[in-house]
A = this chain, B = another copy of it.
Amino acid sequence: MTNITIQDIANEAGVSKATVSRVLNNSQAVDPITRNRIQTIIEKRHFVPSATARNLSKRTSDTIGFVVPEIDNPFFGDILRGVIEIIDANNLTLICCNTDDNMDKDLKALEMLKEQRVRGLLYTPAIDYSTEEEKKRLGKILKEMQTPVVLMDRRISLADVGGVYFDDYHGMYNATKALIEHGHTKIAIINASLDRVLARDRRDGYMAALKDAGIEPDPRYNLEGNYRMTQAYELSKKLLAMEDRPTAVITCNNRTSLGFYKALRERGEKTPRDIALIGLDRIEELDVMGYEMNYIERDAKELGKRAIEMLINRMAFPGKAVRDVILDTHVKIYKI
């Protein structure tokens, strides 16, 4: 028993498959009686037309690619949830890829999505593609996909590629400022390597706030890891063991915050008692537990929604100029 086709339906209804296609797509007037007969047969047989055949014939598809570096990080989980809500409402289908921040996997995912002839791409690049050569290559790959792409969270300036980002600069600026206003001057930042835009943005906001307050930044307080928990944990251990250690710390994503907490706990210390902390991103579980973590709030689910909406818009109006969307961040302080 093989899959039933439009031809089977046509045979049973005594019409041509063109007519069946027309009732399937509601694309042209069909005699109501015939239409009814066909519909009955379709339902009785549970016929579902092949998207593959339809896509080939129409030279398009309703499939969207979704590429992120860390699908099991709640940050991307929230983004995904936002995306899927809109995907469902628009009868699209989503292909998910995970890259582990690894360029090879990133490129491989892109190639696979090209093979699938996706209709649009939602993309958080694994790396920054920061050298001119890398960037040019990526630009070419994306262009050859011949489909709109919307970047999420990680910015790469590429012609014709829009994106949705958070205003991390001001988030960091305001967090740093808040710490300063509470009397802190020795403020550390646990960041990722500065060859990443995201890291530079965050560092810049932090630096600007220090500068505006006339505080000389201490390079020893400027830590660079990779946004993973284990790295942040190692960095934090060193930081906390310093002779002249900071009185406040800013962490640059949810994993970093956890790494810091872990190191702090192992020393039998607590925040804010022993050291102040503001983290990037709320950690839901801690919030529920009444753990009063200060954080810079970013609505990841909203980012997902905005990104897919922008993508759909671009699919509808291919010619329209692209424009980035920057989402606000808010600093939430319990106690410093």
- A276 shortest CB reach to chain B, Å: 17
Distance in angstroms from A280 CB to nearest chain B CB is 15
Q: Which residues of B contact A53 (CB under 8 A)?
A: 56
The residue that A288 contacts in the complex, of B63, B117, B262, B290, with Cβ under 8 A, is B262
Closest CB-CB distance, A118 to chain B, in whole Å? 10
CB-CB nearest in chain B for A84:
B98
Give per-residue flags for A1-30: 1 if the beta carbon is below 8 A from chain B beta carbons, else 0.
111000000000000000000000000000
Do B50 and A52 have beta carbons less than 8 Å apart? no
Which residues on B sit within 8 Å (CB–CB) of A301?
Answer: 72
Find residues 261-304 in chain A having any chain B CB closer than 8 Å to their own CB: 261-262, 265, 283-286, 288-291, 301
A288-B74 contact given A51-B116, A94-B95, A116-B51, CB 8 Å threshold: no
- Across the interface, do A81 and B77 meet the contact criterion of CB distance under 8 Å? no
Which B residue's beta carbon lies closest to that of A265?
Answer: B290
A144 proximity list for chain B (CB < 8 A):
46
Q: Does A181 contact B (CB under 8 A)?
A: no
Neighbouring B residues of A52 by C-beta, 8 Å: 52, 55-56, 61, 116-117
Q: Which residues of B contact A59 (CB under 8 A)?
A: 2-3
Residue of B nearest to A4 (CB): B144
Contact with B along A29-68 (1 / 0, CB 8 A): 0000000000000000010111111011001010100100
- Mark contacts of A80-104 with chain B using CB atoms, 8 A cut-off: 1 yes-contact digit, 0 otherwise: 1100100010010111111000000
- What number of copies of this chain does the assembly contain? 2
Q: How large is the interface on A (under 10, 10 to 19, 20 to 34, 35 or more residues)?
A: 35 or more
The interface residues of chain B lying within 8 Å CB-to-CB of A71 are: 77, 80-81, 84
Distance to closest chain B CB from A305 (angstroms): 13
Tell me, yes or no, whether A229 is within 8 Å of chain B by CB: yes
One digit per residue, 1 when the CB lies within 8 angstroms of any chain B CB and 0 when it does not, for chain A 100-111 equals 000001001001
A115 interface residue per 8 A CB criterion:
yes
With contact pairs A95-B95, A96-B94 given, residues A117 and B51 touching in the complex (Cβ less than 8 Å): yes
Q: With the chains together, A112 CA to B71 CA distance in Å?
A: 23
Residues of B within 8 A of A138 (CB): none
Decide yes or no whether A114 CB sits under 8 A from chain B: yes
Known contacts A144-B46, A288-B229, A289-B286; A72 and B81 CB within 8 A of each other: yes
The minimal Cβ–Cβ distance linking A265 to chain B, given in whole angstroms, is 4
By a CB distance below 8 angstroms, the chain B residues around A197 are none
Which residues of B have CB within 8 Å of A81? 71-72, 98
5 contacts between A and B (CB under 8 A): A46-B140, A52-B55, A53-B56, A94-B97, A258-B289
Across the A-B interface, the 10 shortest Cβ-Cβ residue pairs? A285-B285, A72-B81, A72-B77, A265-B290, A51-B115, A258-B288, A96-B96, A84-B98, A48-B114, A52-B55
